[in-house]
Amino acid sequence: MAIAADEITPELIAEHGLADAEYERIVAILGRAPNLLELGIFSVMWSEHCSYKSSRHWLRRLPTEGPQVICGPGENAGVVDLGDGMAAVFKIESHNHPSFIEPHQGAATGVGGILRDVFTMGARPVALLDSLRFGAPGHPKTRYLVDGVVAGIGGYGNCVGVPTVGGETTFHGVYNGNVLVNAMCVGLVAREQIFYARASGPGNPVVYVGAKTGRDGIHGATMASAEFSEAAEARRPTVQAGDPFTEKLLLEACLELMRTDAIVAIQDMGAAGLTSSSFEMAARGGVGIEMDLDRVPTRETGMTPYELMLSESQERMLLVLRQGAEGRARAVFAKWDLECVAVGRVTDSGAVVLRWHGEEVARVPVAPIGREAPLYERPHERRPAAVPIAALDVAAPLAPGEALRRLLGSPDLASRRWIFEQYDHMVMGDTVQRPGGDAAVVRIHGSNRGLALTTDCTPRYCAADPVRGGMQAVAEAWRNLCAVGARPLAVTDCLNFGSPENPQVMGEFVGCIEGMAEACRALDFPVVSGNVSFYNETDGQAIWPTPTVGGLGLLADLDHMATLAWRHGGLALVLVGETFGWLGCSLYLREVCGREEGAPPPVDLATERRHGELVRSLCEAGLLEACHDLSDGGLYVALAEMALASGIGADLRLPEACDSPTAWLFGEDQGRYLLAVAPARLAAVEAAASRAGVLARRVGTTGGAALTLDGGDAISLRELAAIHEGWLPALMGTP
């Protein structure tokens, strides 16, 4: 064989992030030492990012099936059935490390990547969401990172013309050295027109389309799998830059070609582009692929096979076409001004064979690279359970009104308008519920049905109690979907953690998955896609466990969608669910008392389900004027958010015997909703609740231009709005 023998030194192996045992396995698979190119291929395919070597074992615990699931984990994105011949394709992915190094390009290329994961399956992307975790507001890098990440996400999505309709943003010092940027994309496709990344048909051409290849982000995949150090930050690897314009052309060209029968398989080139796309498509189809790398379109001169296989240049796809369809593909891509080059063909050799000017430069069997990929059951340590805090042990240093002011202007509760107004959230003309509500709602084009979308996680709960935190993240996503009147269908998740080599981090990971799995099962809310991001730590300092949950639900009739805002005074405010006044781990405890401690609120999944189903049925029966779920900050904050969205105030009545008004107002008990109900419908709502065995009691009335408590302690909405809207612009220095 003509494959050149490179000298593979222990240093080279270590630089490629491969353990000695992993290297030995490579030698065993090949029956010889790899050359440098092959070493590079194994290093990316066996990186944490691509192989899930530390997480695979545990991910199996997540429920992934249900009658609504068309395609679960394993493809580029998950697919769920929407009825009427339509399906939703969706996935969430992290771009944490790149965004820390270059916030604008890092976040932008994160959006680009997740868009491609969705349209590679034949779906037109219809919505983007972003879940963002930044360091402490006062940290010297935070402003720069917020500014760059938001501009990057907006700059990309706006240009491609897919609305960014939702997400979440929180701040905490544990993210100072590792911000999290998780981007979720949702697409729509006719059930019969879903495309998969399964290569087949020996002889079929393998075609490269999209942008040219440069030296972008070589080793990005291994970078995303190694923990940060100050030195690495200084080393500044080549960041990949995005071109949303080319992405838009690629999107249109791919969807246009997909309307013909030219495509057998298609996959985006994500991390370690040409390597992962060729190996994964071959593996799924049980075939081989041979490629002539000298045919790959390049942007720079003198690129080597190693660089071509490892480059992370953006806006590229690899296609397997039917024989004879090349001409049609070339015409479509030429129309959109994009490269379209046959670089190889499908074979029955079961190996990926790479040639360079006719000479074979690599030969790697496909099946073993997956089958024999390392799988680690790393040691994990459970942490002792956090101690609950009794409500009566919490001081009330501020009067309720003052505490509310403090909370509404605090980093995690202040308005996100400064962010979402930089995103075009209306393009495509179907955004029925804009950012700011419990879930975004995007109409299924040309119909009266809608998709409800949300991302959720409360990392401080996960840090205090991973199992409960994982459960809560799923429950909150589910609740947010119910709150707009949607039927929750499925989940995509992005598991952001520190180093899996640290048993405590691994313990958090295992705990969160257990909690999530239990909640997904109890709520019939299967996981259909996701992503794991480990090594979010700097100099040994790990982030909080942050399992972001992206939820998708279906609204069968948009006429029955609920929103936060009521439109009249004189409506009854009805609180669904029981209030125990759980202050442990609450924002009240942190922002008002300066304490970050205690156990997070328990999650009772049966109750959660009963309450959500009741609220949804009330929406469907048209009985609600407004609806909001209760989460961070509890009842009083939820009420204020509703009043601010409405521009109409409300009066809240404390219960007769209330031991701790603070706990009642600000406790974060789960499974609760606040409803606004017209007086004429109140009896019907109460009857429905009692039939369902759900506690629903009247707690106040809408009206006026202020929030009042038992008729007193008035805070004008104007003042609250100034506090709520003021914080983020002030932080960013752009009033």
Partner 1 sequence: MKARVHVRLKDGVLDPQGAAIGRALAQLGFAGVGEVRQGKLIELELAETDRARAARQLEAMCERLLANPVIETYAVSLED
Partner 2 sequence: MRAGVITFPGSNCDRDAAVALAACGAAVTSIWHAETELPRLDLIVLPGGFTYGDYLRCGAIAARAPVMAEVARRAEAGVAVLGICNGFQILAEIGLLPGAMISNAGLKFVCRPVDLEVATDASPFTAGYARGQAIRLPIAHHDGNYVCSEAECRRLEDEDRVAFRYMDNPNGSTARIAGVLGAGRNVLGMMPHPERAADPRLGGTDGRILFQTLLETLG
Ligand X SMILES: Nc1ncnc2c1ncn2[C@@H]1O[C@H](COP(=O)(O)OP(=O)(O)O)[C@@H](O)[C@H]1O
Q: Which residues are catalytic?
A: 49, 95
Binding flag, residue 426, partner 2 (CB under 8 A): yes
Query: b or e along 45-67 (b: 16 or more beta carbons within 10 Å of the residue's beta carbon)?
Result: bbbbbbbbbbbeebbebbbbebe
Helices (H) and strands (E) in the chain, counts: 26, 28
Chain residues 337-356 in contact with partner 2, contact rule CB under 8 A: 337
Phi then psi for residue 169, to 5 deg, are -145, 125
Least distance (Å) between residue 258 CB and partner 2: 17
Chain residues 64-93 in contact with Mg ion, contact rule CB under 5 A: 76
Which of 222/277 has CB closer to Mg ion? Answer: 277
Which of 323/448 has CB closer to partner 2? Answer: 448
Which of 245/580 has CB closer to partner 1? Answer: 245
Binding flag, residue 428, partner 2 (CB under 8 A): yes
Binding flag, residue 151, partner 1 (CB under 8 A): no
Chain residues 333-352 in contact with partner 1, contact rule CB under 8 A: 337
Which of 91/443 has CB closer to partner 2? Answer: 443
User: Closest residue (Cβ) to Mg ion?
Assistant: 76
Stretch that binds partner 1, among 241-249, 453-461, 547-555, 712-720 (CB under 8 A): 241-249
Question: What percent helix, strand, coil does the chain show, rounded to 5?
Answer: 40, 25, 40
Give the Cα separation of 450 and 83 in Å (integer).
12
Q: Which of 105, 347, 492, 708 touches partner 1 (CB under 8 A)?
A: 105
Binding flag, residue 314, Mg ion (CB under 5 A): no
Binding flag, residue 423, partner 2 (CB under 8 A): yes
DSSP E strands, 250-287? 263-268
Give the Cα separation of 629 and 635 in Å (integer).
9
Binding flag, residue 149, partner 2 (CB under 8 A): no
Tokens linked to 274: 């040409």
Tokens linked to 194: 């879903």
Tokens linked to 562: 């609920």
Stretch that binds Mg ion, among 117-125, 209-217, 345-353, 503-511 (CB under 5 A): 117-125
Partner whose binding site includes residue 426, from partner 1, ligand X, partner 2, none (CB under 5 to 8 Å by kind)? partner 2
> Look-up: residue for tokens 């695979």?
56
Stretch that binds partner 2, among 49-57, 238-246, 494-502, 654-662 (CB under 8 A): 238-246
The full DSSP string for 570-633 is: SPEEEEES------TT-HHHHHTT----SPPPP--HHHHHHHHHHHHHHHHTT--SEEEE--TT
> Look-up: residue for tokens 């707690």?
699
Q: Are 226 and 44 in contact (CB under 8 A)?
A: no
Which of 176/246 has CB closer to partner 2? Answer: 246
> Which one, of 729, 566, 541, 543, lies nearest residue 650 by Cα?
566
Tokens linked to 117: 């994961």
Which of 73/210 has CB closer to ligand X? Answer: 73
Partner whose binding site includes residue 609, from Mg ion, partner 2, ligand X, none (CB under 5 to 8 Å by kind)? none
Which of 334/392 has CB closer to partner 2? Answer: 334
Partner whose binding site includes residue 443, from ligand X, partner 1, partner 2, none (CB under 5 to 8 Å by kind)? partner 2
Which of 101/721 has CB closer to partner 1? Answer: 101
Q: Which of 12, 33, 194, 558 touches partner 2 (CB under 8 A)?
A: 558
Chain residues 6-35 in contact with partner 1, contact rule CB under 8 A: none
Give the Cα separation of 391 and 583 in Å (integer).
6
Give the Cα separation of 722 and 180 in Å (integer).
28
Stretch that binds partner 1, among 16-24, 119-127, 232-240, 469-477 (CB under 8 A): 232-240
Binding flag, residue 315, partner 2 (CB under 8 A): no
Q: List, in order, residues 6 or more apart from 257 with CB less than 8 Å away.
A: 263, 328, 329, 332, 333
β-strand partners of 321 = 263
Binding flag, residue 290, Mg ion (CB under 5 A): no
Give the Cα separation of 359 and 381 in Å (integer).
51
Which of 270/667 has CB closer to Mg ion? Answer: 270
The full DSSP string for 659-717 is: S-HHHHHH---SS-EEEEE-HHHHHHHHHHHHHHT--EEEEEEE-SSEEEETTEEEEEH
The full DSSP string for 283-330 is: HHHT-EEEEEGGGS-BSSTT--HHHHHH---SSEEEEEE-TT-HHHHH
Q: Which of 38, 81, 93, 117 touches Mg ion (CB under 5 A)?
A: 117
Binding flag, residue 734, partner 2 (CB under 8 A): yes
User: Closest residue (Cβ) to ligand X?
Assistant: 530
> Which one, of 506, 505, 662, lies nearest residue 579 by Cα?
662
Binding flag, residue 154, partner 2 (CB under 8 A): yes
> Which string of x and - marks every residue 239-268 that binds partner 2 (by CB under 8 A)?
----xxxx-xx-------------------
> Look-up: residue for tokens 């009240």?
588
Which amino acid is residue 652, in one-letter code? L
Binding flag, residue 238, partner 1 (CB under 8 A): yes
Helices (H), 489-535: 503-522
Chain residues 597-626 in contact with partner 1, contact rule CB under 8 A: none
Stretch that binds partner 1, among 207-215, 423-431, 494-502, 563-571 (CB under 8 A): 207-215
Q: Are 663 and 389 in contact (CB under 8 A)?
A: no
Partner whose binding site includes residue 239, from partner 1, partner 2, Mg ion, none (CB under 5 to 8 Å by kind)? partner 1
Radius of gyration of the chain (CA): 26
Give the Cα separation of 223 and 133 in Å (integer).
20
Partner whose binding site includes residue 236, from Mg ion, partner 1, ligand X, none (CB under 5 to 8 Å by kind)? partner 1
Least distance (Å) between residue 280 CB and Mg ion: 8
The site for partner 2 (CB under 8 A) is made up of 151, 154-155, 158-161, 243-246, 248-249, 336-337, 420-432, 434, 443, 558, 734
The site for partner 1 (CB under 8 A) is made up of 101-102, 105, 211, 214-216, 236, 238-243, 245-246, 299-300, 313-314, 337
The site for Mg ion (CB under 5 A) is made up of 76, 117, 268, 270
